[in-house]
Structure 1
Amino acid sequence: MSRIAPTGRREARDGTSYVAYTRTFAAPIEDVWAAVTEPERLARWIGTWSGDPASGAVSFRMTAEGEDVAAETYRIEVCEPPRRLVTHSGGTGPEDPDGMVWQLELDLVESDGVTTLTFAQVMSDPSVAESVGPGWDYYLDRLVAAETGRDVAGVLWDDYYPGQAGFYRSAFS
């Protein structure tokens, strides 16, 4: 059993299945936007990107998984600072040899100084839900730790996986 309760939920958006998560921050929307878009801020909890976003794509590398992880190209589909970001990678190139498309959607809303982040990923292949689901719970909790001044090293992968796998497998089967 997981030591951390799963927070993802299955959502249908225009006939497409998503896994979605919500996190709240006692911070202005611009600050949370920076935490999920600026390379230096991303590096604290997940990875970093390089390149020119104005080109429509950036190279992203998940540094939180070690130094050997290859960078992937993420195409920027929608960028409406500080409220919405939609990106996708994979499915057609060497950056994802198993052919999985990673479409990520981030929506932010601020009310009374509290910003709510809704993070969602298209879940077109239910067989990966058991690892992707706990993965995003883990990374989003690392984001919360980084933004609240806690040590992200205290967020442990073993607290999420394999304990949450059954929940996400059931949610998407």
Structure 2
Amino acid sequence: MHRPTAHALIGTPEHPELVFRRSYHAAPENLRGALHDPSRLARWFGEIDGDPAAVGDAFTASLSEDPDDVAVGRVLACEEDLVQVSWSWQGEAESVITARIVPLGEGGAELRLHHALAEPGHAAGYGGGWEQTLQSLARALDEGSPQALPDEEIEAEGVRTFRLLTRSPLHIERRFAAGVDRVWRAFASAEGLRTWWWNQWPDVMIEADVRPGGAYRIQAPAVGITLEGTYLEVDEPTRLSFTWTWRDADGDSEDEAVDLHLVGEHDGSTLLTIRHTGPWADDAPAENYRQGWGDTLDALDLSF
């Protein structure tokens, strides 16, 4: 079944970050209007008070007819294809929402939504809420499908997805006898990756456009494996996060992501922390990845 929205969970257990990507047939300028025009926002998001048109402007968002279903925020960034706001719903700790429009070659556009939460307990609830909201946007753009599930089921499915994503992420720590800049280059460039990633197999092909929104692709034809994804966060030399799609004879993985954090130590070594998330109903996928990451990081260690 076609899944219109791709999801990812990055960040930390204390401060989860929800990522959504959904493509629309609408032209980029149409999607921009839906994102910037308060009268159009009311058709799919909520009633906006305060005329938030510039950085620093405050606003109130009434999300339903319930008088308590209200959020407040202020504009942090406002560009043609980028809107970023602070957000606090019903007095919760302030979070940050970033919406980015990416024009697509065939005339449509992709909306990339990133919600960095300040509290861990709201991830599943916001996951469901955003899932339903992105479907409301599709209807507002006249892209609603008669086969689409009712809003309540769409929201419930989003809640289930993020409950699985937050259930049991894989957490790995590894220390390397190399400076943080050197470890960063090993991960954050195609040239660096080629020196160690899957070097036990012949003819591995690696492409990496290391920037937010850039893509990477690693192919191992000898064993029929392809790994690819999109970079989400690139903060040199301390953080690199990206979606993760593993393709082999068994099919494609879905909604997985990896978040890498690098910390330079006083002795010149580097502590690497990996958080790998996926919608796993049991511990088997994480344990399989634990073994794979261990072997792969052994190769990185030997490269220094």
TM-score if structure 1 supplies the norm length? 0.76
The question of 1:116 aligning with 2:118 is answered no
Residue aligned with 1:86, SS = strand
Q: Give the structure 2 partner of residue 170 of structure 1.
A: 164
Give the aligned residue type for 2:124: E
CA contact (8 A) 2:97 2:115 kept: yes
* 4+ runs deviating over 6 angstroms: none
Identity %: 19
Change over 3 Å in CA distance of 1:70–1:19 after alignment to 2: closer
Q: Give, in whole Å, the separation in 2 of the partners of 1:157 and 1:26.
A: 20
Q: Give, in whole Å, the separation in 2 of the partners of 1:18 and 1:7.
A: 14
Change over 3 Å in CA distance of 1:134–1:7 after alignment to 2: farther
Deviations 1:63-83 (A, max 9, x none): 4x22524643321111111x1
Question: How many residue pairs were aligned?
Answer: 160
Q: Give the structure 1 partner of residue 44 of structure 2.
A: 45
Q: Please point out which of 94, 97, 102 is paired with 1:101.
A: 94
Gaps of 5+ in 1: none
Q: Give the structure 1 partner of residue 61 of structure 2.
A: 61
Change over 3 Å in CA distance of 1:127–1:24 after alignment to 2: same
Larger radius of gyration: 2
Q: Give, in whole Å, the separation in 1 of the partners of 2:41 and 2:149.
A: 16
Give the aligned residue type for 1:45: W
Residue aligned with 1:43, SS = helix
Say which structure is richer in strand.
Answer: 2
Give the aligned residue type for 1:26: H
Q: Give, in whole Å, the separation in 2 of the partners of 1:107 and 1:88.
A: 15
Q: Give the structure 1 partner of residue 134 of structure 2.
A: 140
Gaps of 5+ in 2: 168-304
CA contact (8 A) 2:47 2:62 kept: yes
Q: Give, in whole Å, the separation in 1 of the partners of 2:155 and 2:30.
A: 30
CA contact (8 A) 1:142 1:155 kept: no
Q: CA deviation at 1:6?
A: 7.0
Q: Give the structure 2 partner of residue 89 of structure 1.
A: 87
